[in-house]
Amino acid sequence: MTRLGVIIVSYNVRDLLRDCLRSVFASATHSADWLHVDVIVVDNASHDGSAAMVAAEFPQVKLMASEKNLGFTGGNNLALAELRIARGELRGAVQSPVPNPLPPDFVLLLNPDTEIVDDALGRMVRCLLERPRAGACGAQLRYGSGQFQHGAFRFPTLAQVALDVLPLAEVPVLRRFLPRLLNSELNGRYAQSLWQGTQPFPIDFVLGAALMVRVEAIRQVGVLDDGYFMYCEEMDWCLRLQQAGWTVYAVPSASVIHHEGQSSKQVPWVTVERLWRSRFRFYRKHTDRYPRGYVLAVRASVQVGLSTRGWLARRRFARGQISGTALGDELSTYQQILKHG
């Protein structure tokens, strides 16, 4: 029987986590005759009763309750160690008495603000089973409203950086074209027509909200780079997989609902700073793909973009549209990003 380990790293999203776990076990029933699913929840020091809920309502789940926030990367790497894929231990933490599962064939990193739809687990596993050199795959994501959400991307380019950091929405002549630009190949997106098909297609990297990886590939390239607290770790992982000769796929027939960013929204400006810190780390790490000139160009784009955004924030403050505290938080974040850039 094929074995799948599902890892969910959670922080203060108890009710969403409950729905996520229910959806995982419901999806597993579609493939119960050939797929065994073990679930590990790493609770990152939540204070909303998430760990207690998991222990009380899902006794079949292996719970690892940390006394501190380990981040997305740290939490997943600890669970990979628990699955005997990597080394590591969780000190000073509460663990449920569920026995350690056997090493799986595949691992799914799953955000707690997701819901697996129908047989999505089985369809993702089949994608990897049918393609011996497929190292990872991702599902088709949709928002809670049912609207399509991009869940796979091309590796970053200068055009993507510019579209992200420059306040183009403030330019009236560009405003009407911006949605099309943001959803285009220029911004690293794959055509929605590919997602409307039934066959998996190769991509650069998968959003970490629902990323399934072959254990054989993990043992070759290593676990997530714990230099990333959160953000860009899945991009880094997929690049390392491809450098080792593995292919990454998107699976249009596997549907996952993603209530995006429910943990990160609790600390929005901290999240923005962490995102850019991780991006700069990614560029500096992969110098074969992003030479020094590229990083300098990124830094210049970020400098222009954040300086302009800072000017716009000051203008909103002068008009009474935001408070002094809000202005200070925004400007402080921009200063920290430029410092680490």
Query: Which amino acid makes up residue 78?
Result: L
Distance between CA atoms of residues 269 and 267, nearest Å: 6
User: Which pLDDT score is estimated for 325?
Assistant: 92
Q: Please name which of 155, 213, 230 lies closest in space to residue 187, comparing C-alpha atoms.
A: 155
Cβ neighbours of residue 100 closer than 8 Å, sequence gap 6 or more: 62, 82, 84
CB 239: neighbour CB atoms within 10 A? Answer: 20
pTM of the entire predicted model: 0.91
User: Which pLDDT score is estimated for 263?
Assistant: 47
User: Which pLDDT score is estimated for 30?
Assistant: 97
78 phi, psi to nearest 5 deg: -65, -40
Cβ neighbours of residue 27 closer than 8 Å, sequence gap 6 or more: 116, 117, 118, 119, 120, 121, 122
pLDDT, one tens digit for every residue, the chain (341 residues): 999 999 999 999 999 999 999 999 999 999 999 999 999 999 999 999 999 999 999 999 999 999 899 989 999 999 999 998 876 555 555 677 777 777 899 999 999 999 999 999 999 999 999 999 999 999 999 999 999 999 999 999 999 999 999 898 888 877 888 888 888 999 999 998 999 999 999 999 999 999 999 999 999 999 999 998 889 999 999 999 999 999 999 999 999 999 975 544 555 788 899 999 999 999 999 999 999 999 999 999 999 999 999 999 999 999 999 999 999 999 999 999 988 77
Output DSSP code: residue 198.
S
- For the domain spanning 2-154+190-263, the CATH number is 3.90.550.10
Domain boundaries, the chain: 2-154+190-263, 157-187+267-341
User: Which pLDDT score is estimated for 264?
Assistant: 45
User: Which pLDDT score is estimated for 239?
Assistant: 98
